[in-house]
Amino acid sequence: MRNNDALLDAFANEKLEQLQKRGEKRILIETRRSAKAVAFRGNRELVSFCCNDYLNLSQHPHVKSAAKSAIDAYGVGSGASRLVTGNHPLFAKLEAMLAKLKGTEDCVIFGSGYLANLGIIPTLVGAEDLIVADELSHACLLAGSTLSQAKTIRFRHNDLQHVQDILRSHRAQYRHTLLVTDGVFSMDGDLAPIAALASLADRFDAWLLTDDAHGIGVLGDGRGSAALSSRSPALQMGTLSKAIGGYGAYLCASRPVVDLIRTRARTLIYSTGLPPASVAAAIAALEIIEREPALIERPLRNARAFTELTGLPEAQSPIVPVILGPSDQALKASQMLEAEGFLVTAIRPPTVPAGTARLRLTFTADHKMKDIEKLASAVTGALHSANGESCA
């Protein structure tokens, strides 16, 4: 081994050792997902409460059939970026469906949520501009903000007064201002005050961008978190990988904005187009969401049944956090639940702030009440154990 390679390995091992001591080293565990919210690890069958497939559409026969048919018609991959030859005919239908669902003039599809926010934000703002972002915004929103080179100021989570104070103090110094927030916060499950943020955007001549990855398909009759509000953001971004069940992302906005994104967003221009099967699967999933309103109500209903059973604050979305504090406590609780037959991943820093490691529970349309009740009992026991109480 060359000396430089040995130094690189030593650097990596030192970092890994530090992460291991803090309980923050990650490992990949082979998991086979199946229908009805079931997952297999090793030879064990577990009821999964940590998957974002809220409507279980990744396993739906109609969605799988659409993906297979698209492969037969168009092949496995798109072959190039969308601006070269990768814009296969399925894109137009999916973009039209999403624009209709979100109530916007147009839509553009990206390869993933992370790629979308790395492309959208730097296209709209730059070094002469200001970004005001919720401190708990998803990592890709913050990464896109950094990449844009705009001045970025984070406001306290959902604190409208803090947003107003920042805008009052800083807005006049910058050419354009972008307000950035999740619609549904992925680690806490709470909702952004979209109507109030939209009003502040109007007042201070700013643009509002919401990331609705965890809202589309499960809130607002399937239209997402903005549909719960009296005001719609100018920029509605989201993914196709949660309730939609597949892969990819979108931006719904006005036609001029979407045209600009198609022309200048680097993560669209320089990325191979989404495979035909993924686009076809998303189309099929949206068709199911449109015709089965009862389906989209079930994830939130199941989450609220759980919070009622455990005495936790009422769920605002299908995501329910159970905050334990230290990383080792979250890992221990996750292992305890796995022994009970549940798959619930421990979420640790840096994904969440230090001292707030947690179990992040996600509820789907296919969860059975008997499993929710059993989970509630097990989580209550884990909480008692973490607090040093008797679990008798």
Active site residues: 186, 214, 242
Q: How many other C-beta atoms can be found within 10 angstroms of the C-beta atom of residue 163?
A: 25
28: CB partners within 8 A, 6+ apart: none
Residue whose pair of structure tokens reads 């137009």 in the numeric block: 92
- Rounded distance, CA 53 to CA 183, Å? 17
Strand partners, 322: 359
Q: How many other C-beta atoms can be found within 10 angstroms of the C-beta atom of residue 323?
A: 18
DSSP 173: G
Bond prior to 350 in cis (omega within 30° of 0): yes
Report DSSP letters for 17-83, one per residue.
Answer: HHHHHTT--------EE-STTEEEETTEEEEESS-S-TT-GGG-HHHHHHHHHHHHHH-SS--SBTT
What amino acid is encoded at 219 in this protein? L
**Torsional class of 189: left (φ above 0), alpha (ψ -120 to 50), beta (otherwise):** left
287: CB partners within 8 A, 6+ apart: 62
Strand partners, 38: 47
Among candidates 240, 248, 242, 259, which has minimal Cα distance to 106? 259
Residue 280, helix vs strand vs coil: helix
Residue 186, helix vs strand vs coil: coil
